[in-house]
Amino acid sequence: MIGNAVFRVEGLRKSFGRNEVLGGISLELHSGEVTVLMGANGAGKSTLVKIISGVYERGGGTMTLADLDFAPNTPAEAIRAGVVTVHQNINDGVVADLDVATNLTLDRLSGRGAPTLFNPARVRREAKAVADRMGLAIDLKARVNDLSLADRQMVAIARALAHQPKVLILDEPTSSLSSAEADRLFALVDRLREQGVAILYISHRMSDIRRLADRIVSMRDGVISGVFDTKPLDYEGAVNAMLGRKIHLDQIVARSSAKPVLTVEGLRIAQGARPISLTLGDGEVVAITGLVGVGKTALAETLFGVRKPLAGTMTMNGKPYAPRSAGDAIAAGVFLVAKDRATSGIVGGFNIERNVSLPFLKRMSNLTVLKRRLERATARRQIEELSIVCRSEKDEMSALSGGNQQKVMVARWMAQNAALFILDEPFQGVDISARRDIAAKLRASAHGRATLLFVTELDEALETADRILVMSEHTIVGEHRNAEVDLDRLLAEVAGGPLHSAA
């Protein structure tokens, strides 16, 4: 659009083993412009960033910086060439035990030409110059450990900017900031834009994107699925391009339920969020969808008793339901297949059998002594039920594929009858056939309980649910029966903006 791009990527490819993560990405970044990169989990955003910042080697394609070939072998080379990345994890960018001044000048302490002796006065002088250039108002003598998250992030960015980059990549910089803290970050981004830095801003937060974007690039399954650069920007189009809309082979028959199982009223899960009210019925499968960071996991954890709501009441089968721990929830028949099985589901030291029996040991023991035969029989039954591919119930979890590991997690909680069965991102890192199996099993067994899924991918919701609720900014903003879904309205709700068309 505006003259020449300062940074250009063409036909970038990358595979891990046989798994192609990037399938020919082309991207341009212009000076003095904020380009927002959107993409769901697994779309390949972080791989792209890691190639640009010199962490990964590219599989094919070219990159040019100011019309010169750009091929960094290490992160340090990329920084020296003028492409600087601030990674998502703030603490990777700062040394917590050192003071702000040392952090800001850290990169000058090592490498060729660095002085052998540490000169505090010189460090402070150089740090002050860096801070002034950015308008950073933080006590340079403060220890980074004592700073707030937002201040730490500022230090990390300032440290990156000490190199005077031509291209700055910010990877989900607001994911752990409050809105006031984020405002400070936006002011800084504005300032850098005026100084002519080309910025690649990766985020899921629609509010960030509306505030900052000059252009939006959507990514899906390793390719660019949309570029939006005419004002006013088409935010819904961008979300649509990111979440995609494939043809569903088997349209499901949406059921509705007469008997409510769980009723939630006035539930507030975050400061300043509007309260949530919802009813989940017997036999129905409800999917809650929304972008990353809108509070899906927070809601799942609140229903499961591991997070306290700020306000509101819940009723299970006519009785008040106020779980104070996962144990309470399980006793009340509320089961959760938690997000990210590796950290919050799988017990690595246990085989399949023991992973399956984990939550129900009490029901599988007699005076605390485990009934091993019952345990084995349960595991075998569940392996059969969910068609888990393994040699036997004694297999280690590490021997299973991602899809089968997830099946074990689902099998664990389906071993007993639930009143409310919650699954948080059950299809993440799961191949298509396992995903079909799990979805079919959920629908087939739905009778006698309420089933609630949290998914970011719209396709997953459309494939499995009777009813789809949309979350945005920690509350529920829309409801659709999965029969004739108005996808435009649904996408508008996901994007969190006012409707353009009168619907």
Partner 1 sequence: MTLRDYAIRYGFIVLLFGLVAYFAIAADGFVSPQSAVFIFQSVAITGVLALGVTATLVVGGFDLSIGSVATSAMMAAAYVMVVLEQNAVVAVVVCLLIGAIVGLINGWLIVYMRVPDLLATLGMMFLLVGLQRIPTEGRSIATGMTMPDGSVANGKFGDAFLALGRHRFDFFIPNLIPVSVVVLLVLAVLIWFFLEYTRFGRMMYAVGSNERAAELAGAPVKAYKIWAYVISGVFASIGGILLAARLGRGDIASGNNLLLDAVAAALIGYAVLGAAKPNAFGTAIGALFVGILLQGLTMMNAPYYTQDFVKGVVLVVALVFTFALSGRGRG
Query: Does 348 engage in binding with partner 1 (CB under 8 A)?
Result: yes
DSSP, res 273: P
Among 361, 483, 487, 499, binds partner 1 (CB under 8 A): 361
Q: Which helix (H) or strand (E) holds 341?
A: helix 341-344
Count of residues interacting with partner 1 (CB under 8 A): 30
Q: Tell me the backbone φ, ψ of residue 57, rounded to 5 degrees.
A: -90, 140
Check if the beta carbon of residue 241 is closer than 8 Å to that of residue 220.
yes
| Amino acid identity, position 54 | G
What span, in angstroms and rounded, lies between the C-alpha atoms of 503 and 501?
6
Closest contact distance (angstroms) between CB of 411 and partner 1 is 13
Closest contact distance (angstroms) between CB of 54 and partner 1 is 30
Query: Does 101 engage in binding with partner 1 (CB under 8 A)?
Result: no
Q: Closest CB to partner 1 among 186 and 350?
A: 350
Check if the beta carbon of residue 216 is closer than 8 Å to that of residue 227.
yes
Q: Closest CB to partner 1 among 372 and 500?
A: 372
Stretch that binds partner 1, among 43-51, 228-236, 348-356, 472-480 (CB under 8 A): 348-356
Q: Closest CB to partner 1 among 206 and 306?
A: 306
Q: Closest CB to partner 1 among 225 and 351?
A: 351
Query: Does 349 engage in binding with partner 1 (CB under 8 A)?
Result: yes
In which residue are the tokens 């499961």 written? Answer: 304
Stretch that binds partner 1, among 153-161, 284-292, 319-327, 427-435 (CB under 8 A): 319-327
Query: Does 247 engage in binding with partner 1 (CB under 8 A)?
Result: no
Query: Does 326 engage in binding with partner 1 (CB under 8 A)?
Result: yes
Closest contact distance (angstroms) between CB of 330 and partner 1 is 4
Closest contact distance (angstroms) between CB of 372 and partner 1 is 8
Whole-Å CA distances, 127 to 101, 131, 153, 227, 461: 5, 6, 16, 39, 50
Among 249, 369, 432, 444, binds partner 1 (CB under 8 A): 369
Query: Does 498 engage in binding with partner 1 (CB under 8 A)?
Result: no
Check if the beta carbon of residue 350 is closer than 8 Å to that of residue 314.
no
Show Cβ contacts of residue 29 under 8 Å, excluding neighbours closer than 6 positions.
5, 6, 7, 8, 35, 167, 198, 199, 200
In which residue are the tokens 């970038």 written? Answer: 12
Q: Closest CB to partner 1 among 127 and 408?
A: 408
What span, in angstroms and rounded, lies between the C-alpha atoms of 420 and 304?
10
Query: Does 345 engage in binding with partner 1 (CB under 8 A)?
Result: yes
- Torsion of the alpha carbons at 295, 235, 453 and 465, rounded to the nearest 10: 150
Q: Closest CB to partner 1 among 59 and 359?
A: 359
Neighbour-count burial for 97-118, b at 16+ CB within 10 Å, e otherwise: eebbbbbbbbbeeeeeeeeeee
Q: What is the DSSP string of 423-442?
A: EESTTTT--HHHHHHHHHHH
Q: Cα angle at 217 between 162 and 214, to 5 degrees?
A: 60
Among 128, 210, 354, 441, binds partner 1 (CB under 8 A): 354
Stretch that binds partner 1, among 100-108, 360-368, 425-433, 466-474 (CB under 8 A): 360-368
> Footprint of partner 1 on this chain (CB under 8 A)?
304, 306, 325-327, 329-331, 336, 338, 343-350, 354, 358-359, 361-362, 364-365, 368-370, 372, 412
